[in-house]
Amino acid sequence: MATGFVWHELYMWHNTWNWAQVFAPGLTIQPGEHAENPETKRRFRNLVEVSGLIDHLTPLKPRYATEDELARFHDREYIWKIKKLSAENGGDASSLTPFGRGSYEIGQLSAGGAMTAFDAVLEGKVKNAYALIRPPGHHAIREYGMGFCLFANAVIAILHAKEAHKLGRVATVDWDVHHGNGTQAAFYDRGDVLTISLHQDNLFPANSGGLAETGEGKGKGFNLNIPLPPGSGDGAYLAAFEQIVIPALQRYKPELIVVPSGFDGSGVDPLGRMMITSEGYRAMTRMLLKVADELCGGRMVMTHEGGYSQTYVPYCGLAVLEEMTGIKTHVDDPWAPLMANWGGMGLQPHQQAVISEAANLVQSIT
Ligand code: ZN
């Protein structure tokens, strides 16, 4: 069965202004693009086309999330603020989250694109789907956006699926290098969504994503953070998948697996200090597909988050899509021979120590 692919040109028209203005006001750095600019996503999409893989994907046309659908998670005051500023000349959803004219509608299309992917998978039109959407979503909380995220795309799509498809248990596996704090916050007191986040320890947001954050009330035990030390490579990530993520999913038995997918854990990302290779992302995808086949008819949706290397995100993304479709293109990752010689790529003892501690939390999942 097919793999769905959500894409829209308007995703590239979300304007994040100028990094110098946003991050370093005053005349201290030459003006240039914001880190979260269209290039990495566009180049990912371009490689999907140039590699020929696009011919094997089922295009899914994103729809616009309505205000009511956004409001399943976000406060109306926040939605109205973005809508008003977007109709004028743009503004800032919070620190570091600038947006331009029209970004409200593009934000609706981003959340709507996640919903479109969910609908296609849950209606059986495709087996799995990748939503290459922008702006990203996993840092946005109820009251405001943050960390380049306007609206919480995956959260809004999960809430939509519970409403429209009576979806029961859902599990999220967020492999973006930053903590998926918005997704965690949305479901922190709920047992019907298992939220897992693998991230660089205490990177962003500050003091967020620790092992002690395990959920509360009915959600106790259903939030699992894996804060890996900086420098973690394929070895640490695959060990975390084998020892924590896969066993957690097997215990929880979700009806759908959702992956907020950022490629900023790669070995050359400017905003992270991890060392995942395209083969690492491929292997993680393979493990998720296998467990999805075992547990939920292969149903899996990826929603695009971060990833800031213009020259490497495309290869990481292509590897993931090749696994999802089961089709290997002629494209080889040109970085692979370089990264193969990097020290510390295998699992290190201090990384295993964190993984062992996090693995203890799996027992509380029922
Ligand atoms: Zn990120």
pLDDT, tens digit (0-9, with 9 covering 90-100), for 170-185: 999 999 999 999 999 9
> Among 75, 25, 44, 32, which Cα is nearest to 304's?
44
134 CA from centroid of ligand 1 (Å): 13
177 CA from centroid of ligand 1 (Å): 5
- Cα 345 to chain center, whole Å? 23
Residue 17's φ and ψ, nearest 5 degrees, are 60, -140
29 CA from centroid of ligand 1 (Å): 23
Look at residue 25 and tell me whether its pLDDT is greater than 90.
no
Specify the residue for token string 């370093």. Answer: 24
Contact present, 134 and 14 (Cβ < 8 Å): yes
Look at residue 1 and tell me whether its pLDDT is greater than 80.
no
361 CA from centroid of ligand 1 (Å): 24
32 CA from centroid of ligand 1 (Å): 20
Structural domains of the chain sorted by starting position, each given as residue range(s) with its CATH number in brackets: 3-17+33-333+343-364 (3.40.800.20)
Token pair belonging to 212 = 């002690």
Q: What is the pLDDT of residue 222?
A: 98
- Per-residue pLDDT of 349-365, as tens digits, reads 999 999 999 999 999 99
Q: What is the mean pLDDT of residues 224-232?
A: 98
Local confidence band at 260 (pLDDT 50, 70, 90 cut-offs)? very high
Round to whole Å and give the CA distance between 320 and 187: 27
Query: Sign of torsion, CA 89 93 94 100?
Result: negative
200 CA from centroid of ligand 1 (Å): 10
Contact present, 11 and 110 (Cβ < 8 Å): yes
Rg (CA), the chain: 19
Question: Which residues belong to the active site?
Answer: 139
Local confidence band at 21 (pLDDT 50, 70, 90 cut-offs)? confident
- Bridge partners of 62, per DSSP, are none
Q: What is the pLDDT of residue 324?
A: 98
Query: Sign of torsion, CA 26 27 29 34?
Result: positive
Residue 31's φ and ψ, nearest 5 degrees, are -55, 145
Q: What is the pLDDT of residue 96?
A: 83
Residue 294 parent element (H or E): helix 278-296
> Among 362, 325, 309, which Cα is nearest to 43's?
309
CA angle 255–256–257, rounded 5-degree value: 135
89 CA from centroid of ligand 1 (Å): 26
Mean pLDDT of all residues in the chain? 97
Look at residue 23 and tell me whether its pLDDT is greater than 90.
no
- Per-residue pLDDT of 68-108, as tens digits, reads 999 999 999 999 999 999 999 999 998 789 999 999 999 99
Give me the amino acid identity at 157. A
Percent of the chain with pLDDT over 90: 94
213 CA from centroid of ligand 1 (Å): 19
Give me the amino acid identity at 299. R
Ion ligand 1: protein residues whose beta carbon lies under 5 Å: 176, 178, 262, 264, 306
Residue 22's φ and ψ, nearest 5 degrees, are -80, -45
The answer to whether the pTM exceeds 0.85 is yes
166 CA from centroid of ligand 1 (Å): 30
